[in-house]
Structure 1
């Protein structure tokens, strides 16, 4: 019987000695697992940011290449003057031509607006509202120094 009491006493002492260690292990295991998960997420986030950075640098290079091919403001103004003449001339003979010329004219107005920092809302409007916005943008561009109409006065008979 003394041996059984000795074994029980030894197990009780071992439990008293190791129980705080087991409790600390359980407490810190949760923290260690959270820390490990955080490091894995950080690594995954860093990889995702690296891929995003590579993608953006490639896109910025392609955007820079596109900007080099963007027409100059002088070319845009010449296109606007030419399209304005077509809009008031040949495009009045056909609805298809008129729609095509207006689309091209609005596109050049958007380019000129971007170049000169003039706000425009041509995409958002339709019908008469778009016509009014077109006239407003033309006025803003004229005020910014872009000549959309010929500057030579027409000769008038009195």
Structure 2
């Protein structure tokens, strides 16, 4: 019976000594925990941006730097427009950065298609609602010229 009392007394003393240490550890660990969370968040953002670069890097084209030999075919441009249109309605809605990047790539491809088909466009000069209206107008002109921008699933 005496050993049980000694054991209980030892556990009580250990709890009495270790409890303040545990509280201090929890309070002091708040800073490192925040740093770890911040680091993980930055790493996640960096991976997202790298994925965006990989996705758009192969398709982003500066219109001014294209010459006749490098210019993609109208079929490639149409396929890019359909893919980017799907992304504008899907993946791009999850992030402002993705949405802006996809919109820029989509507008670049609209300008390329307009140049190939002789459609007048003013996408580079506009912004906001005017840009949205011009985008819809150019899409309509391109479709009237025979370019299929959206696939209809039957």
Same fold per superposition (TM over 0.5)? yes
TM-score by length of 1: 0.55
Show CA shifts across 1:43-98 (max 9, x none): xxxxxxxxxxxxxxxxxxxx9x8211110000000000000000010000000000
Query: How far apart in 1 are the matches of 2:89 and 2:129?
Result: 17
Establish whether residue 74 from structure 1 lines up as the match of residue 75 from structure 2.
yes
Query: How far apart in 2 are the matches of 1:82 and 1:93?
Result: 17
Structure 2 match to 1:119: 120
Query: How far apart in 2 are the matches of 1:88 and 1:80?
Result: 12
Query: How far apart in 1 are the matches of 2:131 and 2:70?
Result: 28
Radius of gyration: which is bigger? Answer: 1
Distance apart, 1:151 and its partner CA: 3.4
Task: Report matched runs for 1:26-37 at 5 Å.
Answer: none
Distance apart, 1:128 and its partner CA: 0.7
Structure 2 match to 1:100: 101
Question: Where do 4+ consecutive residues of structure 1 move more than 6 Å?
Answer: none
Residue 104 of structure 2: SS of its match in structure 1? helix
TM-score by length of 2: 0.56
Query: How far apart in 1 are the matches of 2:147 and 2:153?
Result: 15
Query: How far apart in 2 are the matches of 1:91 and 1:131?
Result: 16
Query: How far apart in 1 are the matches of 2:134 and 2:80?
Result: 19
Q: Which structure 1 segments of 5+ residues have no match?
A: 1-62, 154-158
| Structure with more contact order per residue of length (Cα contacts < 8 Å, sep ≥ 6) | 2
Give the number of aligned pairs.
Answer: 90
Distance apart, 1:125 and its partner CA: 0.7
